[in-house]
């Protein structure tokens, strides 16, 4: 049987050029987050299927790659359903594993636990251009603190990581779920309908104010409430005017929420020093239902997706351990960042000086190895290669293969062990 040599559908091989960019981004992010006191952790790629289907993952729970039971546990005799056949699944995000990790290891973790996770996740989505079924996520989380110092650290650390990768002039948009709640209550929506209202409001960027109004009407929300919300939306400033945005909101919104918004705003503006911007946007929703406080995302140029997103989720860990533990997190869209770096050819720091040291197979290689090590000490990535019959053709091929420097090893010359040829 001929074996297919392509990767599984929706997955891909990563070529050396891209892997080098990914490694560069990985190490810059990790270094930056470490200076902020975050600590790298790892969880298994597989989790027990019960955890992955416990309801924390929303729509992603439908996209799990499930692993067949092994050995005696696999019973194919009866009228087994698919669920009877599996015991494990590949993780679809890093948040569900983080909450399990915290619950499992909290006795050995610092009271304020600042985690970095960078790893693959798997989702059996319908393959489409630019979307893959295995992709890398890059999350930081702070568990154990309620104060907005956490939000400030998540935002400034992530902004610094992006700056250190080469991004500039990105825009942080942020809001607070509780401001949305107060707003929806003030307008007169029913509390049970808040989530539905937010899901519609989340489409504002795509469908505009009119589109939001129409969808709210179609969903049967009270006309009064819709009218009040429309008045607020109309009063919001076009530009990023912090005071005007706050002024447009109802007076009933809890003032302490604005204090926290102002604290984050002031601290991040000061830290940014003009290299990036932060905008308070009271219409920002973020999809996930588990957010309980401030929420944020980062936009870059006109790209139609955010390059980072996150927020506070104070009730999620409690569902697993029985006691609420405050937590908030921020996730860089690793694959999106890589895509932009490649499209804009931004990642110059991966450059390597590739050198081919060509050695006659008839010569003893020991001296050539010493010469190669000297060249490595000088900063070259040196490869020993056996000389082929046609040297000119060999060097032309090496140039095509990405080598920049070419030397022929000279075993008999004490003064000059290498002769540079056709240096690129």
Q: Which of residues 8-37 bind a copy of itself (CB under 8 A)?
A: 8, 11-16, 19-20, 22-23, 27, 30, 34-37
Q: Tell me how far, at minimum, the Cβ of 248 lies from a copy of itself, in Å.
A: 24
Figure out which of the listed residues 61, 134, 188, 248 binds a copy of itself, where binding follows CB under 8 A.
134
Figure out which of the listed residues 61, 67, 164, 391 binds a copy of itself, where binding follows CB under 8 A.
67
Choice between 34 and 242, CB closer to a copy of itself = 34
Figure out which of the listed residues 28, 65, 189, 261 binds a copy of itself, where binding follows CB under 8 A.
65
Residue carrying structure tokens 């929706």: 10
- Report the C-alpha gap between 382 and 355 in whole angstroms: 5
Choice between 156 and 283, CB closer to a copy of itself = 156
> Which distant-in-sequence residues (6+ apart) come within 8 Å of 404 by Cβ?
353, 354, 355, 423, 424
Figure out which of the listed residues 270, 345, 348, 414 binds a copy of itself, where binding follows CB under 8 A.
270
Residue carrying structure tokens 């200076």: 35
**DSSP 8-state secondary structure symbol assigned to residue 238:** S
Tell me the HSE value of 77 on the side-chain side, using a 13 A CA sphere.
3
Q: Tell me how far, at minimum, the Cβ of 274 lies from a copy of itself, in Å.
A: 14
In angstroms, what is the C-alpha Rg of the chain?
27
- Report the C-alpha gap between 88 and 49 in whole angstroms: 5
Figure out which of the listed residues 93, 139, 141, 148 binds a copy of itself, where binding follows CB under 8 A.
148
Choice between 15 and 234, CB closer to a copy of itself = 15
- Report the C-alpha gap between 20 and 35 in whole angstroms: 23
396 binds a copy of itself (CB under 8 A): no
408 binds a copy of itself (CB under 8 A): no
Q: Segment 93-112, which members bind a copy of itself (CB under 8 A)? A: 100-101, 103-105, 108-112
Figure out which of the listed residues 59, 147, 208, 344 binds a copy of itself, where binding follows CB under 8 A.
147
51 binds a copy of itself (CB under 8 A): yes
What is the CB neighbour count within 10 angstroms for residue 307? 21
At 100 the three-state DSSP class reads helix
Which residue pairs from 408-414 have beta carbons closer than 8 angstroms and sit at least 24 positions apart in sequence?
Answer: 408/358, 409/357, 409/358, 409/359, 409/360, 409/363, 409/367, 409/368, 409/371, 411/360, 411/363, 411/364, 411/367, 411/368
Choice between 66 and 336, CB closer to a copy of itself = 66
391 binds a copy of itself (CB under 8 A): no
Please report, in angstroms and rounded to a whole number, the separation of the first and last CA atoms in the chain: 45
Q: Tell me how far, at minimum, the Cβ of 146 lies from a copy of itself, in Å.
A: 8
Q: Evaluate the CA torsion angle 57, 58, 64, 70 in order and state its sign.
A: positive
208 binds a copy of itself (CB under 8 A): no
296 binds a copy of itself (CB under 8 A): no
Figure out which of the listed residues 168, 231, 342, 373 binds a copy of itself, where binding follows CB under 8 A.
373
Q: Evaluate the CA torsion angle 152, 158, 162, 163 in order and state its sign.
A: positive
Figure out which of the listed residues 48, 219, 342, 413 binds a copy of itself, where binding follows CB under 8 A.
48
Whether residue 261 contacts residue 280, with contact meaning beta carbons closer than 8 Å, is answered with yes
Q: Segment 151-180, which members bind a copy of itself (CB under 8 A)? A: 152-153, 156
Q: Segment 306-325, which members bind a copy of itself (CB under 8 A)? A: 320-321
């Amino acid at each position: 049987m001929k074996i297919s040599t392509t990767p599984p559908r929706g997955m891909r091989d990563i070529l050396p050029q891209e892997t080098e960019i990914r490694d560069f981004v990985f190490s810059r992010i990790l270094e930056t987050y470490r200076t902020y006191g975050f600590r790298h952790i790892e969880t298994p790629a597989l989790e027990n299927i019960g955890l992955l289907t416990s309801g924390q993952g929303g729509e992603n729970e439908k996209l799990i790659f499930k692993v067949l039971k092994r050995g005696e546990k696999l019973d194919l005799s009866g009228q087994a359903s698919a669920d009877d056949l599996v015991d494990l699944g590949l993780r679809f995000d890093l948040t569900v594993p983080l909450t399990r990790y915290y619950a499992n290891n909290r006795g050995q973790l610092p009271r304020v636990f600042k985690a970095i996770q960078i790893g693959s996740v798997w989702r059996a989505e319908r393959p489409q251009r630019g979307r893959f079924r295995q992709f890398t996520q890059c999350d930081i989380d702070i568990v154990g603190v309620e104060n907005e110092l956490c939000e400030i650290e998540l935002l400034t650390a992530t902004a610094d990581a992006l700056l250190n990768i080469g991004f500039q002039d990105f825009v942080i948009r942020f809001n607070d779920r509780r401001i949305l709640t107060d707003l929806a209550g003030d307008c007169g929506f029913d509390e049970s309908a808040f989530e539905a209202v937010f899901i519609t409001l989340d489409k504002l960027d795509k469908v505009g104010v009119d589109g939001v109004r129409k969808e709210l009407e179609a969903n049967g929300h009270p006309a009064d409430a819709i009218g009040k919300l429309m008045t607020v939306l109309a009063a919001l400033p076009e530009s990023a005017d912090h005071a005007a945005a706050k002024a447009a909101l109802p007076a009933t919104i809890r003032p302490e929420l604005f204090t926290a918004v102002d604290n984050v705003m002031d601290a991040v503006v000061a830290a940014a020093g003009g290299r990036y911007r932060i905008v308070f946007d009271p219409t920002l929703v973020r999809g996930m239902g588990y957010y309980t406080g401030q929420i944020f995302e980062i936009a870059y140029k006109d790209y139609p997706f955010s390059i980072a997103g996150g927020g506070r989720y104070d009730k999620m860990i409690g569902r697993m351990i029985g006691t609420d533990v405050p937590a908030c997190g921020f996730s860089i869209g690793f694959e999106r960042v890589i895509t932009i770096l490649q499209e804009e050819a931004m990642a110059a720091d991966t450059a390597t000086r590739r050198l081919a040291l060509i050695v006659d197979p008839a010569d003893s290689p020991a001296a050539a190895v010493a010469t190669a090590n000297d060249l490595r000490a000088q900063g070259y990535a040196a490869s020993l290669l056996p000389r082929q019959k046609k040297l000119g053709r060999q060097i032309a091929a090496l140039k095509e293969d990405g080598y920049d420097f070419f030397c022929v090893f000279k075993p008999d010359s004490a003064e000059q062990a290498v002769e540079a040829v056709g240096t690129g």
